[in-house]
Amino acid sequence: MNDGKKVGVPQRFTLAARLKSFSYALQGVWFMLKTQHNAWLHGLATLLVIALAVSCQVSASDWRWLTVAMAMVWVAETLNTAVEYVCDVVSPGYSEAVKHAKDISAGGVLIAAVAALLVGVLTFWPYFT
């Protein structure tokens, strides 16, 4: 969306414009949460990790790693959702190339989720041994 601004012309910095951009970002996250079932699973996993970390009283260093792992999965899921929506607009019919793009994007989420699981196991392991 151009919002009537000239393309390539730097816009003045204003607090109102920054707040508006945050609003757009939050709308995107909210839309993803409303429409993507996998985002619900990531949300549940996030809440479980937070609850377990609080109950185990994990160290600040461990919180750092858990936060990075959770954020990594959320970033991957948001990018995957964006890729899927763009692909659906660009090619509403079936396309083998679009299928590959969507599969690759979903693979990025899988890689992030597996890495986050490993971070979680390695982080929580000492608290249970």
77 in catalytic set: yes
Q: Which pLDDT tens digit goes with each residue over 95-126?
A: 999 999 999 999 999 999 999 999 999 999 99
- Using the predicted structure, report yes or no on whether residue 4 has a pLDDT greater than 90: no
Entry pTM: 0.85
* Residue 8's pLDDT band (cuts 50, 70, 90): confident
Catalytic residue among 77, 87, 116, 120: 77
**CA 12 remoteness from chain centre:** 29
91-129 b/e (C-beta count within 10 Å ≥ 16 → b):
eeeeeeebeebbeebbeebeebbeebeebbeebbeeeee
Residue boundaries of the structural domains of the chain = 58-129
Q: Indicate if the pLDDT at residue 2 is higher than 70.
A: no
Looking at domain 58-129, its CATH architecture is Orthogonal Bundle (1.10)
pLDDT (0 to 100) of residue 5: 66
